[in-house]
Chains A and B, each alone.
Chain A
Amino acid sequence: MSNLLILPIIIPLLTAVFLIFFKKYILVQRWISVISVTATLVTSIILVEKVKNDGIQTLDVGSWPAPFGITLVSDMLSALLVTATSLIALCCIIYSFRSIGEGRERNYYYPVVQFLIVGVNGAFTTGDIFNMFVFFEVMLMSSYVLLVIGGTKIQLRETIKYILVNITSSALFVISVAYLYSVVGTLNMAHISERIAEVNQPAILTVLAVLFLIVFGLKGAIFPLFFWLPGSYYAPPAAIMALFGALLTKVGVYSILRTYTLFFYHDTGFTHELLMILSLLTIVLGSIAAVAYKDMKKIVIYNIIIAIGVITYGIGAMNTDALTGSVFYLIHDMVIKAVLFLLVGLIISITGANSYDKFSGLIKHYPLLGWLFFISVLALAGIPPLSGFIGKILIVNGAFSNGDLVGGLIILISSLFVLYSLMRVFINGFWGDPEGSKKKESIRMGTYLFPVIILVGTAVAYGVFSEYVHMYVSQAVEVIENPEMYIEAVLQK
């Protein structure tokens, strides 16, 4: 069935529209959301298998041939990311049943989450640069609503900043598309790539590459464009924070990956060097800030920034090892950041304190929570059997084989900072006398921990069976390294 790759976009879209009509019926909202996201997850897994067996899937919407209509393209990379998105969305929705509060549930929380999934899945799947802009806006518009829903003072204030930054970056995106259209005269990504290859990337296209880096860097929070992220991600409740931390910045990273490997790969001397330097600065800055704070939410937020730097460094390094590592690390990081935000949200709702020195001895009453936190911190830092290891080792390997000793060392040392920043939370918060953390009977741990267990299980399995995952990732990297495969699949030569 050739329409398979549109299902991860169309299922949440129809669900969102349907749910708008049942505003007051919370149970309907919950169950329909869970069923639809599960369906999205199942179709995306089928899509991954289909891409694995039959190669890149394309769909010309409306049967217009490739450069003239909008083409949806699902290669292994986007299929894997769509699967990760659906899994994380499922877990965040289950987590929000207890945590999000009835006021928000009655006011279109679930439909907006579905629209967010539409935007993210669409941005991963599209093969048209302007269509990507539209899916970005779908995603951003839902994120504005999710950020402000509830209407507390801090949310209102931070949404103003977030929306202003994103309006600016959207205008820059339109301008970049205008420039690109005036140079190459097409909007289809495969066709753009083909035409850039014909003119062999003159200076104007290098300027455009930097402009696109600024646009996607603003979405993906790389140095020096990350300044909006710590404040805005601090404001919303845990479930929404987990969705944001796992999905939104990663769409920016995916777009950098796409444009830098599909469009601007001819003259890598300046652009990819710039990307690598900015990534290393991102890592250093994120590491400093992650160690500086005692506030758990801030620590996890700055860990997002470190991970973004690691992934974009792998993109800039542009060899097989580094790119494979980046794809591995991208998927790992989506899962593990969702886990950490959900766990931190849970700890805050138990103790009522944001900073880890206000409580201790949580492990006495909440052993499962403690061990889940411990495992996810180890996975984040990249301890061998767990998920973060294989990606980081490949990126470091790629850096060393490029002869970039400094880059590789910075990435290795940043792992220590990551481990230290979160292990402090574990040691101070979970060990010691159980003061300030009386057992609360009112919190039913089952519904909270169930989605976290799924995600931690995924992260562990992702690390243990990385041999198996590698088959999929290497297929994704093969397409990234050979843009001709992408172009042939889309333009059907």
Chain B
Amino acid sequence: MEVLMSILIGLLFACAVYLMLSKSLLRIIIGTGLLSHGAHLMLLTMAGLKRGTVPLLGENALFYTDPVPQALILTAIVISFGVTAFFLVLAYRAYQELGTDNVEDMKGTE
């Protein structure tokens, strides 16, 4: 299962890098979204995908899945959500002010 997940995460990273190297700002932001998906899945996978019930004590099971990476992912998700929201608004403002979404045109010193 971990191997399958690793291949999937690798694909996500490859797509993210490809999109982030493109010219359009929106494609870049989609790339950052895929990148953070990959990172979060990676946290989940690297902690091990062993069988066990959800980490709720009310389940009264013998085995639980590791609760630590889930907490880490939850933290990382809200952080990347905040940053992405800021980045999207920034891109919108930049489109209004600079009149372009092509990063090739964002040059100069003024």
Contact = CB atoms under 8 A, between A and B. Distances in A.
Contact of A178 (B36, B43, B80, B110): B43
A103 to B, nearest CB: 15
B30 interface: no
Interface of A: 130, 133-134, 137, 141, 144-145, 148, 151, 153-154, 156-157, 159-161, 163-164, 167-168, 170-171, 174-175, 177-179, 181-182, 187, 234
Contacts of A175: 39, 42
A263 B75 CA distance: 24
A171 B35 contact: yes
Given A163-B83, A182-B47, A182-B48, A153 B97 contact: yes
B98 A168 contact: no
Contact of B93 (A137, A141, A151): A151
Contacts of A153: 97-98, 110
A174 B43 contact: yes
B63 interface: no
Given A148-B90, A156-B93, A174 B39 contact: yes
Interface string B69-89: 100100110011011001100
B36 A171 contact: yes
A205 B76 CA distance: 23
27 contacts: A133-B76, A141-B86, A145-B86, A151-B97, A153-B98, A153-B110, A157-B98, A160-B87, A160-B91, A160-B94, A160-B103, A161-B106, A163-B87, A164-B28, A167-B32, A167-B36, A170-B80, A171-B80, A174-B39, A174-B43, A175-B42, A178-B39, A178-B45, A181-B46, A182-B47, A182-B48, A234-B109
Given A134-B75, A174-B42, A160 B25 contact: yes
B82 A141 contact: yes
Contact of A168 (B35, B68, B76): B35
A164 B36 CA distance: 12
A148 B48 CA distance: 41
A409 to B, nearest CB: 35
Given A157-B94, A174-B39, A167 B83 contact: yes
Contact of B90 (A156, A177, A181): A156
A209 to B, nearest CB: 17
B83 A178 contact: no
A473 to B, nearest CB: 34
Contact of B35 (A159, A167, A181): A167
Interface in B27-78: 28, 32, 35-36, 38-40, 42-43, 45-48, 68-69, 72, 75-76
Interface of B: 20, 25, 28, 32, 35-36, 38-40, 42-43, 45-48, 68-69, 72, 75-76, 79-80, 82-83, 86-87, 90-91, 93-94, 97-98, 103, 106, 109-110
For the complex of A and B, the 3 pairs showing the least CB-CB separation, nearest first, are A182-B46, A178-B46, A174-B39
Contacts of B32: 164, 167-168, 171
A130 B106 CA distance: 35
A415 to B, nearest CB: 29
Contacts of B82: 141
A163 B86 contact: yes
B79 A178 contact: no
Chain A interface helix/strand/loop/mixed: helix
A164 B32 CA distance: 8
Contacts of B109: 154, 234
Contacts of B87: 160, 163-164, 167
Given A151-B93, A153-B97, A167-B35, A178 B42 contact: yes
A175 B43 CA distance: 7
Contacts of B43: 174, 177-178, 181
**Which among B43, B80, B110 has the highest number of chain A CB atoms within 10 Å?**
B43
Contacts of B110: 153-154
A300 to B, nearest CB: 16
A177 B72 contact: yes
Contact of A157 (B36, B48, B68, B106): B106
Given A144-B86, A182-B47, 11 more contacts: A134-B75, A134-B79, A144-B90, A151-B97, A156-B90, A160-B90, A163-B86, A170-B79, A174-B36, A174-B42, A182-B48
Nearest to B32: A167
A335 to B, nearest CB: 29
B75 A130 contact: yes
Contacts of A179: 46
Contacts of A187: 68
B35 A137 contact: no
B77 to A, nearest CB: 10
A67 to B, nearest CB: 11
Contact of B79 (A137, A160, A161, A163): A137
A167 B110 CA distance: 25
Contacts of B35: 167-168, 171
B49 to A, nearest CB: 11
Nearest to A137: B79
A154 B75 CA distance: 32
Nearest to A156: B94
B1 to A, nearest CB: 14
Nearest to B95: A156
Nearest to B2: A182
B47 to A, nearest CB: 6
